[in-house]
A and B are shown apart, each in its own frame.
Chain A
């Protein structure tokens, strides 16, 4: 019997071999999990709801960190011009930034993997149309493409997700296609074909699980890329709406006050943004290093 389905090592085992002996990567992972928890729990742990204009008091505006608010509570990280508590705004901003990046990375990767598999299986004109489109996308810097999209469709949370998806899919399609093509040379696919298993089933059941590994390795990198891109676009004022600030927009709001010494409005969201991206990137670097057969063989020498 041909063992046509390669089994990936159990996830727990893989995680252990990726992270053991790499304290920086472990710290990154812990940091990332912490940020995700804060983002998920923001509505319950944030001192106020920064989107609710009713709770904001203009009299509390521009207070430095550790000030007492009008309602008697302490604002640990200060307030912005409309009296929004920075700690709460950062928590909600983190929530929005992560949400946008997660959706864009997931949907973009799914589209990319699907198109890559389709190109590999179908071949012919389907393949050349898909791969031409990939070339088109890859030859363009992502930030310009996103600006172009936002210029066309206008701004908003949904629009920025579309713009980011456009940035994510192409590299995934290219990777999936090349790894699927090399899988298709193998005997288990021939065996499946001979057994008269329909094409779509071969694609989903056999090719997908065996050619997805290189894409999975890239996902953390895409996630941090999306977070950075969203922050940049929101900072430039073509991203999320002013009523629902993400980390990038919070920084932009505070930027006008930086020169007058009111540093806390920008600095706190910025520190959170950089820490978040850094946490993801050190994990991403470690995962890539772990999955690079070349580097692995080198370390054994």
Chain B
């Protein structure tokens, strides 16, 4: 097991380095920071001095090492637009993204899995067909279009929920959270539902096909033959087996949610890291884009590593693979 973990760790390390190289050198060609920072009164001499000050005169590989060296010490550079350390900007906005992503995750799992198991067991019932129809429509509808419909229905026509911003925030452990007040929760509702709809649909489909696959396994037939009650079969045999893939997939889904929050946050003006990324792309704020992408990459590499280890932990066949 330890050998397997070390091997995965080695792979993850290489993955992280390759991705940071791609992001750094890829974005190097975007926009000239000197042009961004200088105004009309700058002379050529001033520009050269500014370039030297930013370290842009040095060879590219040296800049990469300076950057990654600083990164390891928590220095991700300074934003051109906000003129503040990038890490502060990201850390400030991270809680906002986390709270809607996690809420969406809870809603998605809580509704999607029961629906999926139900429609898997009662495959040919009318209710199952109706559920499956709605989830097909749900995952065929692009995220941003769902957001527009949600705003139209709940914010404009019914006027039940606010359509933008984060509302009141309260402090807990020195971090500002919106979910601690009713006003904040109301602001969270639409963005979280927007993120959750896709999750519900995907979980329903996953759980449905998983259920159908398990229903026809021999141990299920055997359990029925033993005369075990239906509820007990569902609880002990079906649920346990279906949860293994779902639990492992959930890890990866957190990452997917944070990625998709880019779209949702932009539409609902939710001040999270996704909106920060998109604003920074539009304003060519290179340090923010580079730092965001590298951090997200590291997060994905880490999540993949954890998921791989979890798989190996749950399934001995994987860790003994050559």
Using a CB–CB cutoff of 8 Å, the interface residues on chain A facing chain B are 135-136, 139-141, 143-144, 147-148, 150-152, 154, 224, 228, 231-232, 235-238, 248, 251, 255, 258-259, 263, 266, 270, 273-274, 277-278, 281-282, 285, 294-295, 298, 301
Contacts and interface: CB of A to CB of B under 8 A. Distances in A.
Main DSSP-derived SS at the B contact region:
helix
18 contacts: A135-B15, A136-B15, A141-B259, A143-B263, A151-B30, A151-B289, A228-B142, A232-B263, A236-B266, A238-B278, A248-B144, A251-B148, A274-B137, A274-B145, A277-B142, A278-B136, A278-B137, A295-B212
A136 B141 contact: no
Contact of B15 (A139, A141, A154): A139
B148 A147 contact: no
7 residue pairs, one from A and one from B, having the closest CB atoms: A141-B259, A278-B140, A152-B26, A144-B259, A277-B140, A281-B140, A228-B142
A20 B26 CA distance: 50
Given A141-B259, A238-B282, 11 more contacts: A136-B15, A139-B15, A139-B301, A140-B300, A144-B262, A148-B23, A152-B30, A236-B266, A248-B144, A274-B140, A298-B212
Nearest to A282: B136
A166 to B, nearest CB: 11
Contact of A238 (B19, B27, B281): B281
A273 B145 contact: yes
Given A147-B262, A148-B26, A277-B142, A139 B300 contact: yes
Interface residues of B, number: 42
B140 A139 contact: no
A144 B281 CA distance: 12
Given A270-B145, A277-B141, A147 B152 contact: no
B281 A231 contact: no
Contacts of B19: 136
Contacts of A232: 142-144, 263
Given A236-B266, A259-B156, A141 B140 contact: no
A285 to B, nearest CB: 7
Main DSSP-derived SS at the A contact region:
helix
Given A148-B293, A295-B212, A235 B259 contact: no
Contacts of B18: 136
B213 interface: yes
Contacts of A148: 23, 26, 293
Contact of B213 (A141, A294, A301): A294
B140 A258 contact: no
Contacts of A231: 142, 144-145
A156 to B, nearest CB: 14
Contacts of A298: 212, 216
B129 to A, nearest CB: 10
A113 B36 CA distance: 43
Given A152-B26, A237-B282, A273 B256 contact: no
The winner among A144, A277, A285, A294 for most chain B CB atoms within 10 A is A144
Contacts of A151: 27, 30, 281, 289
Interface in B75-98: none
Contacts of A278: 136-137, 140-141
